[in-house]
Each structure stands twice: as C-alpha cells, then as structure tokens.
Structure 1
Amino acid sequence: MNSALKGKQKKIGFSYAWNGILETFMTESNFRFHLVAASLVAICGFTLQINRLEWAIILLTIGLVLVAELTNSAIEKIIDYLRPEIHPAAKIIKDAAAGSVLIAALISVMVGCIIFIPKILELL
C-alpha cells in the first residue's frame, strides 16, 4: 500500500464530500447564487404551501442544479490544473460543463413556473 495513502482510509468519505461542497461555496459565486435561489424557492414553497409531490419535484430540480454546478466547478478546476494555458480543447470542455449548468438552471426555472405560477394566480 502506498504510504501516502496509509491512514487516510480511516477518514469517512462524507468529510471529503463536505470539504468539496464547502470549498466550492467559498470559491464559486455561481454556487452561492444557486444556493440563494434555492433558499428563495424554499421560502416560496412554504409560503404557497406546495404539496408533497411538488416539494419532491422542486427538491430534485434544486439538486440537479447544485450537482451540475459542483460538477462544472470540478471540471473547471481539473482543466485549469492540467492546462493552465489557454487551449481550444480546454475551452470547449469548460464551455460544455458550463452549458450543463445552464440547461439545469433553465429547466429549474420552467419547473418553478409550472408549480408556482398557478398558485400565485390563485391568490390574485
């Protein structure tokens, strides 16, 4: 066994995952933006009393966006590490990863509109 890895196996995987989330939170403004948006959506969900199925859909959609943002951040970091200089292939990889976040965010907005607009219209 590699001596550099010895002793690290005892650390629970959750701590590594939490460190990754925390690091992304501290360094990526887009991740913080998505967390603020998720918080606002949750407040709207409580205020408008969405049902359990709607909560499940909202939570899955929020999760999709956050996972896409974490994955995008990881891809950007690894590309920056492997190719610190500007390279056309690196740009395409980073742009595709960012595109996945955009698609997830657009889908989440559509889901939010489908769930929240009828509830808002009922109040008017």
Structure 2
Amino acid sequence: MKPRFVDSFLYAAQGIRTAVREERNMRFHLCAAFYVYLFSLFYGFGKTEYILITLMVCGVLALELVNSSLERTVERPAPDRYMTAGVVKDMAAGAVLVFSIGCAVCGAVLFWDVAAFRRMFAFFAARPLLAVLLAASLAVAWQFIFGKRKEGK
C-alpha cells in the first residue's frame, strides 16, 4: 500500500526531529538562524532582505540534512568501500561549508551597519534585564548545541 500524501510530511518531520536531536551541526545552524533573525530586528530590512535571509537559512539547514543523511548512509562501509565512503562524507560536508561561507559573506554585507550596532548597544544598555536575558540565551544555546546527546555518528 502506498503511503498517504500526509505521511510524507510526517516522515520528513521525523527526519528533521532526528537531525535536531542527534546532529550537533544542525543544532548549531538552528541557533545561528535564531540570532540572525533576532538581530535583524535592529535593521530596516524589507521583504527582499528577509527573503534572502530565509533562503540562506533554509539552504544551510537543507544541506545539513543531506550531509547528515549521506554520512549515515555510508558509515561503516565494507573495507573495499572505505575510501569512497570517506570521500562522499567529505564532499557532502564541503557542500555545507561552501554554502555556509557564502551565507556568511552575504550576512556580513547585509548586517555590517555601524548605525545598527549603535542601536543594538543603546537598546541593551537601556534595558539591562534584556541584556542579561540575551547573555543567558547564549548559555542555553551553548548547552543545546554541545550538551550531552546521542550523536548519530
């Protein structure tokens, strides 16, 4: 029996949930995306900038899912396939790295604005409790990314 159309979304959601639970790099990218969107509030971004940011975030997350799935597919290969498996894993990781570097360059172009940096500083200086909450969120993000979890590797 063929799976129902809705089932494909459930399977996809399960894959994303597994990646978040078991893949440190996926958790890192999610935290980075959170802070990108948070700090974007200090900029006068319009639809175009938010579309670009969303495409970059989704692109990195999608590539990380592909990379993680390829790594699992080729892990523990037969001895005669070991070199090929290593190359596949390295190339998939390289794809994530190339796209991430491109996104970082685009992000630097979008976000490098001294006036916005001043607005952020003034905002948090006038609201010390929010500055403490921001610092605390970084500790929570660190724990989310690097805390003890079952790694799928």
Relative to the length of structure 1, the TM-score reads: 0.85
| Equivalent position of 2:89 in the other structure | 94
For residues 98-113 of structure 1, the aligned pairs below 5 Å read 98-113=93-108
Deviation at 1:89, TM superposition (A): 1.0
Q: What is the aligned-residue identity percentage? A: 30
SS across alignment from 2:66: helix
| Residue 107 of structure 2 is aligned to residue 121 of structure 1 | no
| Residue 67 of structure 2 is aligned to residue 72 of structure 1 | yes
Report the residue type matching 2:17 in the other structure. L
| Equivalent position of 1:24 in the other structure | 19
Deviation at 1:47, TM superposition (A): 2.3
| Equivalent position of 2:132 in the other structure | none
Relative to the length of structure 2, the TM-score reads: 0.70
Whole-angstrom CA distance in 1 between matches of 2:7 and 2:39: 35
SS across alignment from 2:44: coil
Structure 2: any 5+ residue segments left out of the alignment?
119-153
| Equivalent position of 1:52 in the other structure | 47
Q: Deviations over 1:67-93 (max 9, x none)?
A: 110000000010016x16581111000
SS across alignment from 1:44: helix
Structure 1: any 5+ residue segments left out of the alignment?
1-5
Deviation at 1:122, TM superposition (A): 2.7
Higher relative contact order (CA 8 A, sep 6+): 2
Corresponding residue pairs, total: 115
